Structure 1
């Protein structure tokens, strides 16, 4: 455990985090976690817990966490897409070399519809970028 504790702890939730202030300044020298707020990563909203008033430092720390969390989630999203490209390649190899007729019958439509949907979105987005670049 580090020599000193951070002042805040963020318990990650689906859309953000519950924010706690950490305290060891008590008679038992135990770590106490006092929930001070809830932070929403999607809309940037910070709600104080109960009738609590957040300090400027609380708000700044939470806003910094939201910003860092958004960057992390964006990076993870890109990493997921890169892994998906690998999976698509591995799936093509599997379909060509290892898949049985029964497996292909079972998965064929799901794969084709998902790839058709993805291709349609990508082609449309690319066409939009080309149009925008031409100034139309």
Structure 2
């Protein structure tokens, strides 16, 4: 089993991870996790834990994880937005076919304001991209 374990374990937290070195070479043949660093995904900072001096393999593993995590979070963002598009379509179908007058009254103003805000932002961003593309 020990041969199948990775050299590092990343305990994900809200804005990054705590990095552990996985140790299996001991008398009891137990898995031990040695905390070696904290990583912040938002700014890319790596802080060694206590007096730990990070080796090149440590830094390389952390950098690989950080790059993969940033890509994973970006993909999740796009997936969340595509789910929102699906949900908007389902909301339209609900409003058209099943919603009662009271239900529509409860949600209409909030939905209209949110959609107006979203539309304005999307139009402005698209215009910026088109102007930037024309300038290049």
Judge same fold: TM > 0.5, yes or no. yes
TM-score band by shorter chain is: over 0.9
Deviations 1:84-136 (A, max 9, x none): 11100000000011111111111111111111111010000011112122229
Do structure 1's residue 54 and structure 2's residue 62 form an aligned pair?
no
Do structure 1's residue 38 and structure 2's residue 38 form an aligned pair?
yes
TM-score between both structures, scaled by the size of structure 2:
0.95
Tell me, yes or no, if the aligned pair for 2:9 and 2:20 is still in contact at 8 Å.
Answer: yes
- Measured on the aligned residues, the alpha-carbon RMSD in Å equals 1.4
**Who is 1:9 aligned against?**
9
**Who is 1:66 aligned against?**
66
**Who is 1:110 aligned against?**
110
Runs of 4+ in 1 over 4 A off after TM superposition: none
Structure 1 spans left out of the alignment, 5+ residues:
none
2:4 is paired with a residue whose SS is: coil
**Who is 2:98 aligned against?**
98
TM-score between both structures, scaled by the size of structure 1:
0.95
2:65 is paired with a residue whose SS is: helix
Structure 2 spans left out of the alignment, 5+ residues:
none
Paired with 2:2 and 2:83, the residues of 1 have a C-alpha distance of 34
Paired with 1:76 and 1:109, the residues of 2 have a C-alpha distance of 29
